[in-house]
Amino acid sequence: MIQRTRRKIDAALKAKIAMEALREQASVADLAQRYQVHPNQIYAWKKQLQDQAARAFESGPGDGAQDREREIEKLHAKIGQLIVERIF
């Protein structure tokens, strides 16, 4: 038996396929055949896109921005500590 490796599909292609499925200009079966993916996978990407679409319109900084700010504060504290140690 021949061992096949899994195909890795990047996020941009997943989004493109999910958007085409949402537009419903072509059936999911047609999209699956065109992009050589299983129809169930297209349904999953479509559902994920619908569930997370509201995030694009949320106001305020996301969790990533808060994590980044905390990391910057920790690094500034470390820099201050190293400067003090170097002086002594």
Give me 27's structure tokens.
């059936």
pLDDT at 61: 57
pLDDT at 47: 94
Alpha-helical (H) ranges within the chain are: 11-23, 28-35, 39-52, 63-87
pLDDT digit string (tens) for 15-47?
999 999 999 999 999 999 999 999 999 999 999
pLDDT at 63: 63
| C-beta of residue 32 within 8 angstroms of C-beta of residue 39 | yes
Q: What is the distance of C-alpha 73 from the center of its chain?
A: 26
Q: b/e string for 43-80 if b means 16 or more Cβ within 10 A? A: eebbeebeeeeeeeeeeeeeeeeeeeeeeeeeeeeeee
pLDDT digit string (tens) for 65-88?
778 888 999 999 999 899 888 887
Q: Global pTM?
A: 0.61
